């Protein structure tokens, strides 16, 4: 497929590293004017430098703001008042026994992983609907369906995104705007490397640690390896294109076959 996103503007939250940066890179390479977002000027500057190296000649911009807050979401909207493609990627994760999670931690995960996307969609969706074209995507996880025992609070937020996206898709029905969720499987990022080290031991060589993590903690995976961020990005770029015009209200899996079901 020759995906051409020239003339489109895309905003990817939490895109200074990992999956978000890979998504931004894929969108930029497809021709979209791409806005990266992170909490600090320094992290945004580093991401832009990487993007300009990996996607030379593309139009990339950055906004430093914490979109987990209403003020940060407003800052982004003020600086980028209209987008054609919104990718709600921002998220946090971490292992903690569910009985040890206090109220503040439950709220923090919900604010960052769910409300950040809710706020931005509320800000950007109306103009997309008025213009008759738009793409909104929420980056969820296999944990939305297979709740991990070691991070129930994270799984809860990703399950919530499935409902949120479906609801917004109904709101946008018949307008030319699509809203979908991408279910990312266990993915190879710097944060996940640290997470794997916490679970299986940081003294192991990476390849051994990855194999042990997949065997002991993600045995359902049919890939038997971590997914690379670019593989998640490929799905997002497709869903952002004209080719995906009939796909809305869905949960698209890039999980390496981890979810042991025909449907999410």
- Residue 115 CA to residue 117 CA, distance in Å, equals 5
Extended beta strands in the chain, E state: 9-12, 33-38, 60-64, 85-88, 134-141, 177-184, 251-254
96 C-beta neighbours (distance < 10 Å), count: 15
- Residue 195 CA to residue 178 CA, distance in Å, equals 33
Which candidate, 127, 128, 125, 159, places its Cα nearest to that of 142? 159
Q: How many CA within 13 A on the CB side of residue 140?
A: 32
154 is known as an active-site residue: yes
Please tell me which residue in 154, 168, 238, 243 is annotated as part of the active site. 154
Active site residues: 154
């Amino acid at each position: 497929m020759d995906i051409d996103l020239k003339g489109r503007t895309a905003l990817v939250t939490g895109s200074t590293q990992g999956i978000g940066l890979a998504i931004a890179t894929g969108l930029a390479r497809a021709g979209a004017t791409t806005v990266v977002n992170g909490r600090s000027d320094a992290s945004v500057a580093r991401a832009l430098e990487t993007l300009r190296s990996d996607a030379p000649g593309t139009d990339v911009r950055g906004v430093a703001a914490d979109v987990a807050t209403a003020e940060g979401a407003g800052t982004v909207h003020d600086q980028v008042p209209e987008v054609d493609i919104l990718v709600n990627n921002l998220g946090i994760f971490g292992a903690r026994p569910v009985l040890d999670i206090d109220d503040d931690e439950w709220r923090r995960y919900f604010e960052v992983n769910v409300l950040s996307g809710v706020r931005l969609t509320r800000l950007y969706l109306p103009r997309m609907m008025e213009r008759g074209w738009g793409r909104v995507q929420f980056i969820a996880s296999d944990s939305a369906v297979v709740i991990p025992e070691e991070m129930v609070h994270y799984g809860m937020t990703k399950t919530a995104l499935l409902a949120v996206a479906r609801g917004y898709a109904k709101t946008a029905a018949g307008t030319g705007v699509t809203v979908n969720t991408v279910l990312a499987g266990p993915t190879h990022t710097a944060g996940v490397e640290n997470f794997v080290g916490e679970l299986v031991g940081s003294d192991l060589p990476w390849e051994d640690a990855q194999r042990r993590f997949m065997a002991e903690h993600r045995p359902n995976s049919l890939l038997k390896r971590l997914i690379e961020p670019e593989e998640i990005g490929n799905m997002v770029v497709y869903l952002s294109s004209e080719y995906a015009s009939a796909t809305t209200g869905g949960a698209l899996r890039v999980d390496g076959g981890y979810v042991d079901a025909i449907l999410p």
